[in-house]
């Protein structure tokens, strides 16, 4: 979702029952997919009989919409697939976690340092 958000930003989410609007940034998870996706809502289709919303999303840096990411034959995502709507973010606050996952040896260095500090800094 660059340039709105970058890798390592922590997103503050809200998922109220109010209708989703065009332009909102949402986090959604599709069935049979492991990773949630953060993209902006481009179109909203509301079924007038059931009052149910269906959404079409697109990443800010992507050329086309997300229909290629959806499950086979799926043209819209269901409102129930939305995990949350972005209400704010904390820039780069998640970089420590990302670094430890990208470089597993860093976990041992950090844990070792914490253990050493607890042994040395006794009360």
Same domain, 80 and 116: no
Residues 101, 107: Cα–Cα separation, whole Å: 8
CATH number of the structural domain spanning residue 58:
2.10.109
Same domain, 42 and 12: yes
Region 15-34 average pLDDT: 92
pLDDT at site 91: 95
pTM: 0.80
pLDDT surpasses 70 at 5:
yes
pLDDT surpasses 90 at 8:
yes
Region 36-63 average pLDDT: 94
pLDDT at site 94: 94
Same domain, 76 and 39: yes
Q: What is the mean pLDDT of the chain?
A: 93
Same domain, 60 and 36: yes
Residue 61 has what DSSP assignment? T
pLDDT at site 123: 65
Strand order, beta sheet including 53-58: 10-14, 82-90, 25-28, 37-46, 53-58, 77-78
CB 52 within 8 A of CB 63: no
């Amino acid at each position: 979702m660059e340039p709105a958000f970058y890798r390592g930003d922590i997103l503050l989410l809200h998922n109220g029952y109010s209708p989703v609007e065009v332009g909102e940034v949402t986090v959604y998870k599709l069935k049979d997919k492991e990773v949630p996706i953060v993209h902006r809502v481009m179109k909203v289709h509301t079924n007038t009989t059931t009052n149910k919303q269906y959404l079409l999303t697109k990443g800010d840096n992507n050329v086309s919409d997300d229909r290629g990411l959806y499950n086979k034959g799926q043209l819209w995502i269901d409102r129930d697939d939305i995990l949350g709507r972005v209400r704010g973010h904390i820039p780069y606050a998640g970089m420590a976690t990302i670094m430890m996952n990208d470089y597993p040896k860093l976990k041992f260095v950090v844990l070792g340092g914490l253990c050493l500090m607890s042994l040395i800094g006794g009360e």
